[in-house]
Chain A
Amino acid sequence: MLEVPRHPALTIMKLLWADKFACIAALFLVLIVVCAAIGPYFLEDAASKLNLRGRNAPPFDWSQGWLFMLGADSLGRSILARIAVAAQNTILIASCAVFASLVIGGALGLIAGYSSRRLGDTIMRLADVIMSFPSLLLAVIVLYMMEPSVLNLVLVLAITRIPVYLRTTRAEVLEIRERMFVQAAIVMGASRMRIIFGHMLPIVVPTLITIGTLDFAFVMLAESALSFLGIGIQPPDITWGLMVSQGKAYLHQAWWLSFWPGIAIILTTMSLNLLSGWLRIVLDPVQRWRLEMGGKNND
């Protein structure tokens, strides 16, 4: 029962290895993040170099070299290179939006759950108002009014997602504060701060991270939809959603223009979903044994 304490990173790797799907998902996400981080430096040229002779070159035509294995777009640019470059904006927008909404929503949720009733109610009403907004409509209005820049896009997406974290955090806090170990801490004389940071956060944060992973996928899809509608990122910047949109006009001649960026979105979203499911188990001490014992017990 008593295990020798190991380095936490090693434990995580072992737990990841126990779930093969999550493992593949994590590897894929690492690849995407690497693309997003260094892709633009190496492939910027390939992604923007016009090649009018190679317009709409079909995929799997190896004569053009590996860069053109997924074909070329209407201006003869390598789709593979463009996907790699577009990863940066796509990932950047989604991660900033998720991070902002997680931190703001989580903080507000803690306050709403552990402060006076009136303040809590006010915060909840605000969340309701945001929730009752048709989020896409809000995005359209705001982005139409302001410049559709990366920052504004992040802002709009973050605001629409805040209520998700706020509600979850508040619900958890309300539940935890009734738990007996919190009462035990109060009996010992623990201050509010100690209870919030010592007892509540360690339980709330894993939940938030799990939701955040799932939400990352959602935000990515929302960003894609906005870009698709033409009110997200504007050319010459690109995201995967915008690539799908641009390819729509050439559907009759070159399906691959829209197809590949869509696949990139799906694979990333799917990986995030898988990873979120894995996280949910890993971060829950009651469920964690399923993975720890995973190899030995498969029936």
Chain B
Amino acid sequence: MKSFIGRRAISSAVSLGGLIVLVFFLTRLTGDPTNLYLPLDAPMEARDNFRVLHGLNDPLIVQFGSYVYDVLHLDFGESIRKARPALEVVLEAFPWTLTLAVVTMGLVTLFAIIIGSLAAARVGGVFDRLSGIMSLIAASTPEFWVAIVGIFIFAVSLGWLPTSGTGTIWHWVLPITVLFIRPFGLILQVVRGSMISALSSPYVKTARAKGVRQRAIIFVHALRNGMLPVITVIGDQAAGMLNGAVVIETIFGFPGVGKLMIDSILQRDFSVVLASIMVTALAIFIMNLLIDLLYAVLDPRIRY
């Protein structure tokens, strides 16, 4: 197990390293932040000071070297925009995204499993057809459009929910609902397919021959087997959300990592971009480990 985590950590670190290099140089190519932060008529001297302060005068490769050196000493640089340590800025935004992702994926998993299992239990039944239509529509709907329509109906027309921002529990309702839809449609389909094959497997026949009740057959015998492929998809979807639900966070003015990244790129606040990438990468790494662990718990045939 230890060596497995080690191997995973190394391969993740390699990918992350590649990503950091790429992002570092690509972002620097987008231009010099000086012009963005100092007024047009700022004197040359002020410009030079700004550049020196943020290390923008050195050759790119030197900048990169010193950045790597700093990161290895857990210094992720300074946010130009906010004049605060970049890591601090990111860690402020991250819990919002994490909460959003965890709550949404929790709900998605719960509903998808229950509805998908019941649909699989009677293929072609009313429930199955209903879930088929639901998942088709859910998987086909662009979330930004649902967000806008949702705002129009529930915030503008009915005035039940706030349009954007944070503060009360009501601010969470629309973002979570909108984020819920697509993963729900997708995972519902996977659960259904996986459960259909689990329910038609020989060991379910054995359980029926033993006299096990239908409910126990679905939720004890088939579900644990049927969950294995589902977990992979849940992991992929959750990883996507941890990377920041950019569109949703932008529309709802939600101070998460996704919005932070977009704003930072647009403002050429490079340290924050890189710090957010590293924080989310770490989160995704941990999540993937948990998923592998869950695999081994669910299926005794898997050993690392």
Contact = CB atoms under 8 A, between A and B. Distances in A.
Same complex origin of A and B = yes
Interface of A: 125, 128-129, 132-134, 136-137, 140-142, 144-145, 217, 221, 224-225, 228-229, 241, 244-245, 247-248, 251-252, 255, 258-259, 262, 265-266, 269-270, 273-274
A136 B265 contact: no
Given A221-B142, A224-B144, A258-B149, 18 more contacts: A128-B11, A129-B19, A132-B281, A132-B284, A141-B26, A145-B30, A224-B145, A225-B143, A229-B247, A245-B144, A251-B148, A258-B152, A262-B145, A262-B148, A266-B137, A266-B141, A269-B139, A273-B136
A270 B136 contact: yes
Residue picked from B12, B247, B280, most chain A C-beta under 10 Å: B247
Contacts of B137: 266, 270
A273 B281 contact: no
A229 B247 CA distance: 7
Given A225-B247, A270-B137, A262 B142 contact: yes
Interface in B236-295: 240, 243-244, 246-247, 250, 261-262, 265-266, 277, 280-281, 284
B27 interface: yes
A258 B145 contact: yes
Residue picked from A125, A141, A252, A270, most chain B C-beta under 10 Å: A141
Interface of B: 11-12, 14-16, 18-19, 23, 26-27, 29-30, 136-137, 139-145, 148-149, 151-152, 156, 240, 243-244, 246-247, 250, 261-262, 265-266, 277, 280-281, 284
Interface of B is mostly: helix
16 contacts: A129-B14, A129-B19, A132-B12, A133-B19, A137-B244, A140-B246, A140-B265, A224-B144, A241-B142, A251-B156, A252-B156, A265-B145, A266-B140, A266-B145, A269-B139, A269-B142
Contact of B136 (A136, A141, A224, A274): A274
Contacts of A270: 136-137, 140
B142 A265 contact: yes
B144 A225 contact: yes
B266 A144 contact: yes
A71 B217 CA distance: 54
Contacts of A142: 26
| 6 closest cross-chain pairs (CB), A and B | A262-B145, A134-B243, A269-B140, A270-B140, A132-B15, A228-B144
Contacts of A241: 142, 144
A125 B14 CA distance: 10
A247 B23 CA distance: 32
B22 to A, nearest CB: 8
B152 A224 contact: no
A142 B250 CA distance: 19
A258 B149 CA distance: 8
A229 B143 CA distance: 12
Given A134-B280, A251-B156, A145 B26 contact: yes
